Amino acid sequence: MAVSSRRRHAQQFDVLLCLFTPGHAQTAPPPLDAKPLLVPASTFVALTFPFPFSGKRDIELDHLVIQLLGQTILGKDRRQGDEGQRDELEAISIVIFHHICASDGPLLVTMLVCKAWHTAAILTGEVWSYIHLTTGATHDRLCYGVLKCGTKPQLLAALKRSRGLPLSITDKDSPDTLSSWYTTLSASWDLNLLEEIETRNNDLIRRAVVEFSRIVALGLAGSMLHEVQDPEIWRRLRSLRTEGSSDSALSEILPLCTPLQYLHLRWCRVDEDVVRISLPQLQWLSLEWCNPFWPIDCPNFVELSIMQTCSQPSLKSVILPRLNKLTYTVDGVKPQPDIFQAPNLEKLTIYAPSDHDGEDLLLRTWINKPAEQRLDPISFEIILLQVNVKALVGALSTLTRCIKLDLFHVVQRDELFEALSPAHEVRTFTGEQETPLESLISLDITCTQGCSDTVLDTARRFVRSRQAAGMPFLSLVVNSKVIGDN
């Protein structure tokens, strides 16, 4: 059962956790006979062990917690025939899974070397489903934990005993930075059940491709794509992350990936003259520092993230009927968000450094564009785009669905409040006079020149004027200060 499907069961039970006083955490490890407390399992997402993870005592404290949890699981599982008890074991595994993700070093180590947990892990195989090694520092912490709690052979033996290890591997380090113990560890992995792998280790990806038959998610450097020779792997793939890929490699591989749902390209080049790559099932797309920045035909995806670092004058219009989230970042070139048409857009984020011509962006994308071609989000966030208030209000006045607006270092002080007041009207593209942002109920502004008492008073008057005009308004935050109407 997946973690997400287990959450509904977790609310019904109590989970045994060992909670100690701050004094114990700061002075010495807790006694072995310390009494545990029952904590509602419904709080598992927020649970954290109440002592710091910062030294030798971390390992000892973790070891004790895992021992108690392992013994609890074993004791409850011996009560056969009780479905509720089994659900409670699932809830305990959720708590532990959460802490593996939150503290990826010491806690994982203690589980590997704790005898009580070895047996308990067989009952909660989900905990062993994921290995998340991301940095050299993590490798060092794991190695340190092994030396404190056991030996390297113990660690390897524990991994071999665990069931279903691993289904997912994330290993972004260069092979040159990997420690010898990690190399030994990865060589011991059984990859028959592997479904996801992200690595820069050529040996590991060769093993995964040869030993396995179920990979559906890949994360590889462009120079490693040739390691995957079997076209059936590409035809089965659901997720692909790659960087530094050449146009020839992508042009050969992507047309095979028809079931692909998630694609992240970074520092990649696709020849604009080749036939556009069609990915009909793609739902999530991220393009960073790609040239050109729009090489793909995928009209059905719902989430798009773009970092544009090159111009593409040949690109005229891209219609995305199902898109509901767009994050657009521009760096060093003329921004082109105006090429996109997304009638069902719910959230739009635009990030542009202050040296860009923000007014030109607003004119092309909103002010001088027909209504049916504009981006009209429900939630709109603008970051660092420097424009005058007149141009900003002109663009915002074209929005008909926006209920939430976030402006981070876009306006100088308080001039925007007067421009957005009900008494102020602007002329739209059609020549009609409209009150800007009539549907707005939430506004969060971070002013570039700080937040004085004058700004706060102006903000309060703005709230009162909107309410007096019968416009619903629930939240105003100025430089992290919540503004009321008094």
Query: Residue 356 is encoded by which pair of tokens?
Result: 């860009």
The CA distance from 394 to 407, in Å, is 15
Looking at this protein, which amino acid is placed at residue 93? S
What pLDDT is recorded for position 348?
96
For 274, what's the count of Cα atoms within 13 Å in the CB-facing half-sphere? Answer: 18
279: exposed, middle or buried (Cβ count in 10 Å: 0-12, 13-18, 19+): buried
Q: Helices 56-77 and 115-123: crossing angle, nearest 10°?
A: 50
Q: Taking CA 134 as the corner, what is the angle to CA 132 and CA 135, rounded to the nearest 5 degrees?
A: 140
Beta bridge partners of 307: 288, 329
Q: Which phi-psi region, left, alpha or beta, contains residue 450 (left: φ > 0; alpha: ψ -120 to 50)?
A: left
In a domain, 115, yes or no: no
Alpha carbon of 48 to those of 11, 39, 141, 175, 295: distances in Å? 17, 12, 19, 33, 45
In a domain, 377, yes or no: no
Looking at this protein, which amino acid is placed at residue 289? W
In a domain, 104, yes or no: no
| Polymer length of the chain | 486
In a domain, 198, yes or no: no
What pLDDT is recorded for position 413?
66
How far does Cα 6 stand from its chain's mean position?
21
Report helix, strand or coil for 135.
coil
The whole-number mean pLDDT for each consecutive block of 10 residues of the chain, a chain of 486 residues, reads 31 31 31 36 31 44 60 55 50 51 48 52 44 41 48 56 56 57 63 80 82 82 87 92 83 88 88 69 89 74 86 78 92 80 94 76 88 92 87 88 91 74 56 69 84 83 84 84 70
What pLDDT is recorded for position 126?
42
Q: Which of 305, 344, 310 is nearest to 328 (CA)?
A: 305
The CA distance from 220 to 192, in Å, is 19
In a domain, 192, yes or no: no
Secondary structure tally for the chain: helices H, strands E: 16, 23
What pLDDT is recorded for position 56?
44
Domain that holds residue 476: 358-371+387-486
In a domain, 486, yes or no: yes
In a domain, 246, yes or no: no
Q: Is the dihedral of CA 366, 326, 392, 359 positive or negative?
A: negative
In a domain, 59, yes or no: no
Contact between 286 and 308 (Cβ < 8 Å): no
Q: How many domains does the chain have?
A: 1
Contact between 90 and 44 (Cβ < 8 Å): no
